[in-house]
């Protein structure tokens, strides 16, 4: 089992903390606290076994591994490896990157490796030269770097790591942000193996990285860039999968990254981010394929990709050739920015798009698409929700985020409302959604998380008898609970003490394994 540790919440993590890092108040965050925060980021690999119907970690397993932001070194490959914009004082040749962070969703490859996606990397970079709005003051940067900083939101100043660690201080190491926002491949069966960041998959805020084997043997990877008005991407490997596992681990090193343009006629054109084609030429300032991938957002914008309402998980169904895109929300979309693929202004609740790969060819240049669900309360006309009428008051949801498909082809959706859960009156949850037949568009609630938590990382075992669910940052999302009281969690007084419910422990993110009483497949 591979588990991401996306980010830390200092006020529930450290006793006695009164500063508010979320408001750029870091006066109590010490160097020791930063070390602890960095160690708490990353990925864990844990071997489990089922004993008497319960999943139990094998503590002595040689495959157990902790990958952190602090000291795990990894290789870099693909077109951007060795590029000058990835070089730093500690790594002048761009051969090794230390750490991975803000790993959100991920994916599993057909050859049995794990893909850890780096999402909001910009938030970890710090500057001591801020203007009145907390943004970085103008300083001598190359034109490419300055445009990249602006487009990616660097520095975010969410953490003050850069106050103690030079590599997170952009005044001292301006290239370090370019070394994050990638996808790292992990071999969970070899704890001594070196992770690889694949630059061919592009640099952006990867929500997930879902991989499927195309009928012709090539690997196809889908990923969303989780921010307002960002894009949906697809990577197709140049080479085909073989019986050589080590060779397969290099499939994501070379291939074509494309971005989606959704047309009103219900078609999707996949636009290759290929240097020298279309607007991506030296005459327009694009000097190499490395630059295209480092600044994938800017390249996608130049190609005319469709700006979406926060694309999150993008999940292919290997049986049907359909692909489901989770679009969480976008409260910044104005009425004159509405388009068929993003059909609502001030989209507080999100929607789900179904893409279809004709003939199940996920490498094809053109797909078709339609909206499967428009989320929100269907009983409120102004919301403009779209559900099957069979969906009950407990079945509808907002903010689709992660998703998975079970062994019978049913779509399951996990939600992440952030601070917006007060608008739905519901904590986040895990829902079963029908996509075929008369029940298409019907959703049913399966699992609810504690107050202030996010539901993420759903994964079924191959026999569909267990679903693993990650409950992230319980008690920290939002400003008010359902009764209208302030929800300001601290170590001493958290909004919940889930899952331990012990007075001496704060809430803790945890993985839950759900099984049917008496065994058997999980069904509605």
CA–CA distance, 170 with 127 (Å, rounded to integer): 6
CA–CA distance, 205 with 101 (Å, rounded to integer): 11
What residues contact 300, with CB distance under 8 A and at least 6 apart? 231, 233, 259, 271, 273
CA–CA distance, 320 with 282 (Å, rounded to integer): 41
Helices in 304-413 by DSSP H: which ranges? Answer: none
CA–CA distance, 231 with 371 (Å, rounded to integer): 16
Q: What is the 3-state secondary structure (H, E, C) of 324-348?
A: EEEECCECCCCHHHCECCECCCCEC
Residue 428 is classified by DSSP as -
**Global pTM?**
0.96
209-to-59, 185, 375, 502 alpha-carbon distances in Å = 28, 10, 23, 36
**At 15, is the secondary structure helix, strand, or coil?**
coil
H or E element that contains 245: helix 245-248
The one-digit pLDDT tens for each residue of the chain (524 residues) are 999 999 999 999 999 998 777 677 888 999 999 999 999 999 999 999 999 889 999 999 999 999 999 999 999 999 999 999 999 999 998 889 999 999 999 999 999 999 999 999 999 999 887 766 666 554 667 778 989 999 999 999 999 999 999 999 999 999 999 999 999 999 999 999 999 999 999 999 999 999 999 999 999 999 999 999 999 999 999 999 999 999 999 999 999 999 999 999 999 999 999 999 999 999 999 999 999 999 999 999 999 999 999 999 999 999 999 999 999 999 999 999 999 999 999 999 999 999 999 999 999 999 999 999 999 999 999 999 999 999 999 999 999 999 999 988 899 999 999 877 778 889 999 999 999 999 999 999 999 999 889 999 999 999 999 999 999 999 988 644 444 445 678 999 998 999 999 999 999 999 999 999 988 999 76
* CB atoms near residue 419 (< 10 Å): 12
Angle at the Cα of 196 (from 179 to 469), degrees rounded to 5? 95
């Amino acid at each position: 089992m591979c588990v991401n540790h996306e980010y830390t919440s200092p006020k529930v993590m450290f006793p006695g903390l009164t500063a508010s890092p979320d408001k750029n108040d870091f006066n109590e965050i010490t160097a020791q606290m930063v070390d602890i925060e960095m160690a708490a980021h990353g990925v864990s690999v844990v071997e489990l076994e089922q004993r008497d119907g319960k999943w139990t970690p094998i503590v002595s397993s040689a495959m157990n591994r902790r990958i952190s932001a602090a000291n795990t070194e990894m290789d870099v490959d693909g077109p951007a490896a060795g590029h000058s914009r990835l070089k730093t004082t500690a790594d002048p040749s761009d051969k090794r990157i230390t750490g991975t962070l803000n790993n959100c969703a991920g994916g599993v490859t057909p050859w049995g490796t794990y893909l850890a996606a780096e999402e909001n990397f910009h938030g970890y970079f710090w500057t001591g030269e801020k203007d009145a709005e907390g943004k970085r003051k103008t300083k001598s940067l190359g034109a490419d770097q300055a445009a990249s900083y602006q487009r990616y939101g660097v520095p975010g100043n969410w953490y003050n790591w850069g106050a103690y660690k030079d590599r997170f201080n952009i005044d001292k190491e301006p290239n370090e942000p370019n070394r994050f926002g990638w996808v790292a491949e992990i071999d969970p069966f070899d704890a001594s193996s070196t992770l690889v960041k694949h630059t061919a998959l592009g640099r952006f805020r990867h929500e997930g990285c879902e991989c499927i084997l195309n009928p012709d043997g090539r690997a196809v990877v889908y990923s969303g860039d989780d921010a307002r008005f960002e894009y949906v991407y697809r990577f197709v490997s140049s080479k085909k999968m073989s019986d050589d596992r080590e060779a397969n681990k290099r499939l994501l090193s070379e291939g074509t990254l494309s971005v989606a343009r959704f047309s009103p006629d219900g078609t999707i054109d996949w636009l290759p981010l290929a240097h020298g084609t279309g607007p991506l030429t030296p005459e327009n300032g694009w000097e190499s394929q490395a630059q295209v991938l480092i600044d994938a957002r800017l390249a996608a914008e130049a190609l005319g990709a469709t700006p979406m309402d926060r694309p999150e998980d993008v999940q292919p169904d290997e049986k049907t050739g359909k692909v489901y895109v989770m679009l969480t929300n976008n409260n910044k979309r104005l009425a004159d920015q509405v388009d068929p693929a993003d059909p609502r202004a001030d989209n507080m609740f999100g929607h789900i798009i179904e893409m279809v790969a004709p003939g199940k060819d996920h490498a094809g240049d053109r797909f078709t698409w339609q909206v499967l669900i428009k989320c929100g309360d269907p009983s409120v006309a102004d919301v403009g929700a779209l559900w099957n009428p069979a969906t009950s008051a407990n079945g509808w949801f907002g903010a689709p985020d992660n998703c998975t498909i079970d062994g019978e082809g049913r779509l399951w959706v996990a939600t992440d409302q952030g601070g917006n859960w007060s608008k739905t009156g519901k904590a986040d949850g895990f829902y079963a959604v029908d996509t075929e037949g008369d029940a298409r568009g019907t959703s049913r609630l399966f699992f609810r998380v504690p107050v202030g938590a996010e539901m993420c990382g759903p994964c079924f075992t191959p026999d569909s008898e267990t679903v693993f669910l990650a409950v992230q940052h319980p008690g920290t999302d939002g400003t008010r609970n359902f009764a209208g009281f302030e929800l300001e969690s601290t170590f001493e007084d958290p909004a919940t003490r889930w899952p331990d419910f012990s007075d001496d422990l704060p809430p803790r993110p945890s993985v839950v394994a759900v099984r049917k009483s008496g065994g058997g497949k999980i069904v509605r």
